[in-house]
Amino acid sequence: GENVEQHPSTLSVQEGDSAVIKCTYSDSASNYFPWYKQELGKRPQLIIDIRSNVGEKKDQRIAVTLNKTAKHFSLHITETQPEDSAVYFCAAKGGGADGLTFGKGTHLIIQP
């Protein structure tokens, strides 16, 4: 089955700086890669996603890049703000399955 690795587990950045979270996946047939933000005690919230037919997608301060050859995708947050502090999860949907496989999460801390 699919396996998703996520790094780093904790990321601390100064407010206003950029943050990058990286994930790799194992199933070359995976075709959908969402990113979720989860605040303490809250539900995972879909913040951006990318399908395997594109290499990059941007939504205001958030962007995701996908390298299918390397089986690698990344989340980029620019001009970080205190409200960006949360746990971020990457996920992948395999070609033969509909359930998402999640990474272990990155705790993003925005230092004032």
Partner 1 sequence: DTGVSQDPRHKITKRGQNVTFRCDPISEHNRLYWYRQTLGQGPEFLTYFQNEAQLEKSRLLSDRFSAERPKGSFSTLEIQRTEQGDSAMYLCASSLLMASGSYEQYFGPGTRLTVT
Please say which residue, 81 or 104, places its beta carbon nearer to partner 1. 104
Instruction: Give the DSSP letter string of 64-91.
Output: EEEETTTTEEEEEE-S--GGG-EEEEEE
Please say which residue, 34 or 77, places its beta carbon nearer to partner 1. 34
Least separation in angstroms between CB 83 and partner 1: 19
Please say which residue, 31 or 78, places its beta carbon nearer to partner 1. 31
Least separation in angstroms between CB 18 and partner 1: 23
Count CB-CB contacts under 10 A for residue 47: 18
Residue 67 has φ and ψ, to the nearest 5°, of -120, 100
Please say which residue, 19 or 44, places its beta carbon nearer to partner 1. 44
Is 69 exposed, middle or buried, given 0-12, 13-18 or 19+ CB atoms closer than 10 A? Answer: exposed
Least separation in angstroms between CB 53 and partner 1: 10
Contacts to partner 1 by CB under 8 A = 6, 31-32, 34, 36, 42-46, 49, 51, 89, 91, 93, 97-105
Give the whole-angstrom CA distance, residue 81 versus residue 61.
Answer: 10
